[in-house]
């Protein structure tokens, strides 16, 4: 373990930051110091500390806000679309944005782009959730057992993990979907399998570290049963690093979904996801670039939100977690 512990610095170490720019440096540097003082005063559980620190991180809070908005759109989407997302109108194809009745224009079949983007939100977010569920269902228990039991079991699992990680991710997903048949469910199942090693390695590492901690040892020495140690001390402490991993992985899951749907291996017509909308607009790009620009911007925005959220959460953890994210 060559982990370099990093304490939040009150001041940037470089001398280049001139003293005449205090307003700029006060914002990111000031908050961790006060937060750690607050955490000290509280001395609550790791999870409570983590939540408190996230609350003080502006980037993470904005990202959470955007995410909440996306979730709301996903939930109520079908009820607020200005038009039927799958209704074709061949007399109004490839309309530009701000056309009457079609705020963002129409696609090659005359379908309302805004409506399709709205219903696509639900498809995309559900796809991410599915992939994350699969990845965690495989990765978390295996990683936990691997870290907790160590020994032979750990070695076998880590070899399997190495094997899984040596596949070029997208290619394996494509192969799996090719074998199982193209559908969004199969695609996200494949993506979930690909993401599982991230969780496995993370949880294993955390559990391995926790086993050596004094408070775990102390608890054991006063005769706490193993299940109690796991429930009270180990599991709660895996929660915050897991949250970081979920945020980062969600971004990658989104990109994978978009990529597979773009290749026609994800969501099937006439349903729309942002990735499949780019695929459909591909051929009409020269004439109507908006077809591809809107969904692309939404994908980028969502992934950016997840990445920012992950960064903010990681900062809130108080150290730079070096998982290969």
Residues that bind another protein in the complex, under the rule CB under 8 A = 4, 6, 12-14, 16-17, 24-25, 28-29, 159-160, 162-181, 251, 255, 258-259, 262-265, 275, 278, 282, 285-286, 289, 292-293, 296, 299-304, 307-308, 311, 320, 322, 324
Residue 249 CA to residue 309 CA, distance in Å, equals: 11
**In angstroms, what is the minimal distance from the CB of 240 to another protein?**
19
Residue 126 CA to residue 159 CA, distance in Å, equals: 31
Q: Which is nearer to another protein, 201 or 233 (CB)?
A: 201
Which residues are 112's β-sheet partners? 106
**In angstroms, what is the minimal distance from the CB of 211 to another protein?**
23
Q: Which is nearer to another protein, 234 or 272 (CB)?
A: 272
| Closest among 132, 136, 156, 137 to 146, alpha carbons compared | 156
Q: Which is nearer to another protein, 120 or 259 (CB)?
A: 259
Q: Which is nearer to another protein, 115 or 302 (CB)?
A: 302
Residue 187 CA to residue 175 CA, distance in Å, equals: 10
**In angstroms, what is the minimal distance from the CB of 147 to another protein?**
20
**In angstroms, what is the minimal distance from the CB of 4 to another protein?**
5
Sequence-distant (6+) residues with CB within 8 A of 300 are: none
**In angstroms, what is the minimal distance from the CB of 114 to another protein?**
19
Residue 38 CA to residue 49 CA, distance in Å, equals: 9
Sequence-distant (6+) residues with CB within 8 A of 223 are: none
Per the CB < 8 A criterion, the answer to whether 325 and 204 are in contact is no
Q: Which is nearer to another protein, 16 or 212 (CB)?
A: 16
Residue in this structure with the two tokens 């990111």, named with its chain if needed: 28
């Amino acid at each position: 373990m060559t982990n370099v512990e990093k304490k939040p610095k009150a001041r940037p170490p470089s001398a280049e930051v001139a003293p005449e720019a205090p307003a700029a440096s006060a914002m990111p540097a000031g908050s961790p110091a006060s937060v750690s003082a607050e955490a000290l005063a509280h001395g609550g559980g790791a999870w409570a500390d983590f939540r408190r620190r996230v609350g003080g991180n502006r980037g993470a809070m904005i990202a959470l806000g955007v995410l909440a908005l996306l979730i709301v759109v996903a939930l109520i989407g079908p009820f607020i679309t200005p038009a039927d997302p799958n209704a074709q109108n061949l007399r109004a194809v490839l309309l530009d944005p701000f056309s009457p009745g079609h705020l963002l224009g129409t696609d090659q079949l005359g379908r309302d782009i805004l409506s399709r983007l709205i219903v696509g939100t639900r498809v995309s977010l559900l796809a991410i959730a599915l992939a994350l569920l699969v990845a965690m269902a495989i990765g978390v228990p295996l990683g936990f057992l691997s870290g907790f039991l160590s020994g032979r079991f750990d070695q076998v699992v880590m070899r399997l993990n190495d094997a899984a990680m040596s596949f070029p991710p997208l290619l394996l997903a494509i192969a799996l979907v090719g074998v199982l048949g193209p559908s969004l469910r199969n695609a996200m199942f494949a993506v979930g399998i690909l993401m599982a090693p991230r969780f496995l390695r993370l949880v294993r590492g955390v559990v391995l570290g926790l086993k050596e901690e004094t408070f775990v040892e102390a608890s054991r020495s006063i005769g706490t049963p193993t299940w109690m140690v796991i429930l009270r001390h180990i599991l709660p402490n895996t929660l915050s690093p897991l949250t970081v991993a979920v945020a980062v992985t969600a971004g990658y899951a989104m990109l994978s979904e978009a990529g597979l749907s773009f290749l026609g291996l994800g969501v099937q017509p006439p349903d729309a996801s942002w990735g499949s909308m780019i695929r459909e607009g591909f051929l009409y790009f020269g004439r109507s670039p908006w077809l591809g620009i809107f969904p692309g911007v939404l994908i980028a925005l969502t992934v950016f939100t997840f990445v920012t959220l992950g960064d903010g959460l990681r900062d809130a953890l108080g150290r730079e977690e070096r998982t290969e994210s």
